[in-house]
Amino acid sequence: MKRGYSSDSLPILDLSRYDAGTIQKTQFLADLRGAARDVGFFYLTGHGISAELLLQVQHLSHRFFALPEQEKLAVAMVNSPHFRGYNRAGAELTGGAPDWREQFDIGAEREALPAAPDTPLWTRLQGPNQWPRSLPELRPTLLRWQAEMTLMARRLARAFSEALGLPESAFDSLYEDKPNQHIKLCRYPGQAGQAQGVGAHKDAGFLTFLLQDRQRGLQVEVEPGRWIDAVPLEGTLVVNIGELLELATDGYLRATTHRVLAPPSGEDRLSVAFFLGARLDAVVPRYALPAPLAAQARGVATDPANPLFREVGFNYLKGRLRSHPDVALRHYPELEHHL
């Protein structure tokens, strides 16, 4: 856990400074390293994703959640061994408790891998998405956003490499041509007495980017027991460190616990998350940081009941099985005793 963060708001970083000349770049990298280590969350401006596209993504997300329930259930996640599709509020679990949000999950649009008796189970995570027939414009818009977000996220990952004193391309081999791209559309309906929009957790990937509407709800645990609001700021993306980056830096950077509070009765909240993860067949190494940074590495913070693994596909499958027991029981019955 980050310690000593005294502010009540998240840092704001401008990615355009990364390409604005030596002085600006040097200061940006120092700010990036400090924000990532001190709090693990920050607002990102200058990301290059057009306001028009961001608004289109939000508009189509609203339209998806406004579809009749039977149309959303036609693309229910339980139909997909790849963990793609729609879930009603309360279907996903965090910390064993239901999250009060309905959601729609999209991954990289790839063909399913052939199965064989000796094929690792995590290979089933690759496959096609499910798309609602009555909203055909959703697919091209989200896949466009996914492609643009991937390019921007990999650019930020390169900035992280330099901020950590590593070669600019240090993390490239983790992604190559098949990064684990995951989009989650989330709607949090208001409900009296319901506090857990999403329970306290850390993200399992490399970097997370969140597009918020105007409704508050996201909170970050900047110190043990001290939570601050990630207040929505127009035009920004909220970025946070995932557990893969913590593994890669031996805890010099650490994934930060966060949660979402459900909105009050009569209101709702929309957010759209993009998760950049390593390719499924990657193994996350421990990168050799420069001595001054390595001396400050705190080791990986892991929960014995939910340990981290450097084998990306296995680690990702473990998390999905725990979060979606209905999908696990239908498509992974051989792992029932692990749930």
Name the residue ranges covered by the structural domains of the chain.
12-338
Strand, coil or helix: 248: helix
Count other C-beta atoms under 10 Å from residue 240's C-beta. Answer: 25
- Residue carrying the six token digits 């999908």: 327
Work out the pLDDT band at 306, boundaries 50, 70, 90: confident
Span 156-184, pLDDT tens digits: 999 999 999 999 999 999 988 899 999 99
Residue-wise DSSP of 132-160: -TT-TTHHHHHHHHHHHHHHHHHHHHHHH
pLDDT over 50 at 254, yes or no: yes
Q: CA-to-CA distance for 130 and 107, rounded, in angstroms? A: 10
Cβ(108)–Cβ(126) below 8 Å:
yes
pLDDT over 90 at 3, yes or no: no
Work out the pLDDT band at 303, boundaries 50, 70, 90: confident
Work out the pLDDT band at 336, boundaries 50, 70, 90: low
Work out the pLDDT band at 337, boundaries 50, 70, 90: low
CA angle 330, 133, 274 (to 5 degrees): 70
Span 85-99, pLDDT tens digits: 999 988 888 888 889
Span 101-157, pLDDT tens digits: 999 999 999 999 998 888 999 999 999 999 999 999 999 999 999 999 999 999 999
Q: CA-to-CA distance for 168 and 189, rounded, in angstroms? A: 42
Cβ(238)–Cβ(172) below 8 Å:
no
Residue-wise DSSP of 209-227: EEEE-S---EEEEEETTEE
288, two tokens: 């050799």
**What CATH number has the domain spanning 12-338?**
2.60.120.330
Count other C-beta atoms under 10 Å from residue 301's C-beta. Answer: 14
Which residue(s) pair with 98 in the sheet?
Answer: 93
Give the residue among 13, 17, 15, 10 at the shortest CA–CA distance from 38: 10
- Residue carrying the six token digits 């793609």: 84
Which residue(s) pair with 218 in the sheet?
Answer: 260
Task: Give residues with Cβ within 8 angstroms of 219, minimum separation 6.
Answer: 227, 228, 229, 230, 258, 259, 260, 261
State phi, psi for 130 to the nearest 5 degrees: -105, 140
Which residue(s) pair with 226 in the sheet?
Answer: 223
2, two tokens: 């980050």
Per-residue confidence (pLDDT) for residue 261, from 0 to 100: 93
Burial 20-47 (b: 16+ CB within 10 A, else e): eeeeeeeebbebbbebbbbbbbbbbeeb
